[in-house]
Amino acid sequence: VRMREHPVHGQQILRGIEFLEGPSRVVSQHHEKWDGSGYPLGLRGEDIDICARIFAVADAFDAITSDRVYRRGKSYEAAAEELDAWAGKQFDAKVVAAFHRVPKEDWEELHRRSLTQEKETFDSHKMVGAIMEPRLEALVS
């Protein structure tokens, strides 16, 4: 029960910081689920901020594929299958479909770079932008 409070606490931390208004919605809604079974507000469908819906898929993919102290990360294929299984329930099916339009090789390259670059010089924003922005622009066009 206490763990489920973290989205509200995160939003409170960001409250009043104008340029973080958008990200504060992501923080507060990242555990909402497409079918309304999430928390803290039980939002459903398009009532959930689109950025929070995108973050939920990205966060789940990262959680599934990353090594944890208690288990090894699963493969890209296993993660993609799990996202598909929860599309329309936990995740926006359109966001999961968009995830699938990003080539597996791009995800693997992001993962490889995140593991090999020095912590001090690792700039995930720059790395994601360089790899993903041209692909995203092509998808939108």
pLDDT value of position 119: 55
**Closest by CA position to 107, among listed 67, 70, 135:** 135
Mean predicted lDDT score pLDDT of the chain: 87
Distance CA 117, CA 25 (A): 31
Which amino acid is residue 49, in one-letter code? D
- Residues 89-112: tens digit of each pLDDT: 999 999 999 999 999 999 888 888
Average pLDDT over residues 36-52: 96
pLDDT range class, residue 69, cuts 50, 70, 90? very high
Structure tokens at 3: 């763990």
pTM of the model: 0.77
